[in-house]
Amino acid sequence: MVRIDFNRLRFLVIDDNAHMRRILRTLLHGFGTREVYEAEDGAAGLEAFTHYSPDIVITDWAMPIFDGLELTQMIRQPGANANPYVPIIMLTGHSEKKRVIAARDTGVTEFLAKPISAKALYHRILNIVANPRPFIKTATYFGPDRRRNVPSNYVGPERRKGGKAEVIHVQPLLAKAGIPS
């Protein structure tokens, strides 16, 4: 099992529920994180994202002002902020397939249904750090590759259609998280 040095990572937790923010902060501190920033809605979250430059964003879906999907769209705008490649974990109490697909298609890196567990949160973070996905830029999408474990020579019916996709390999968080590459 890979061990992450959490004290090297900065997190931004965005949730309108103070109790949920406290739970996430407690879990992250329990993992060894020192820097956990918080925001209570999408607008404050975007401001905190710009100010703190977190390594990982954890956001709720349903929030006032603008929700987690709108926040993700704003973060994922290339050139609009310092780090459109930041990993984003989406939290929600609604885990229907259509919501998971909507989050994925907006550029969310990982999806986590409430109620959360320490183990589930740790595994999402571990996946982000140890198995980073390249980013894809097409005419209609910018975000982490929506496909997992698909061979590059795949030619079946679900093969990407349309214009050419630019694949952008992002600097992994491995070194920052104390994991030798």
What's residue 19's pLDDT? 96
pLDDT at 143 (0 to 100):
82
**How close are the terminal C-alpha atoms of the chain, in Å?**
14
pLDDT in tens, 15-36: 999 999 999 999 999 999 999 9
| Residue in this structure with the two tokens 């401001």, named with its chain if needed | 47
Q: Is residue 173 part of a domain?
A: no
- Its domain, for residue 24, covers 6-168
Closest-CA residue to 5 (of 121, 139, 126, 105): 126
Query: What confidence tier does 94 reach under pLDDT thresholds 50, 70, 90?
Result: confident
- 181 lies in some domain: no
Tally the domains of the chain: 1
The answer to whether residue 24 is domain-embedded is yes
Within a domain: 178: no
Q: Residue 141: which CATH number?
A: 3.40.50.2300
> Which residue has better confidence, 132 or 37?
37
pTM, entire model: 0.84
Q: pLDDT tens digits, residue range 54-74?
A: 999 999 999 988 999 999 999
Which of 33, 43, 89 minimizes the C-alpha distance to 65? 43
Residue 154 has pLDDT above 70, yes or no: no
Q: Is residue 133 part of a domain?
A: yes
Crossing angle of helices 68-75 and 97-106, in 10° steps, is: 20
Rounded to 5 degrees, φ, ψ at 60 are: -75, 160
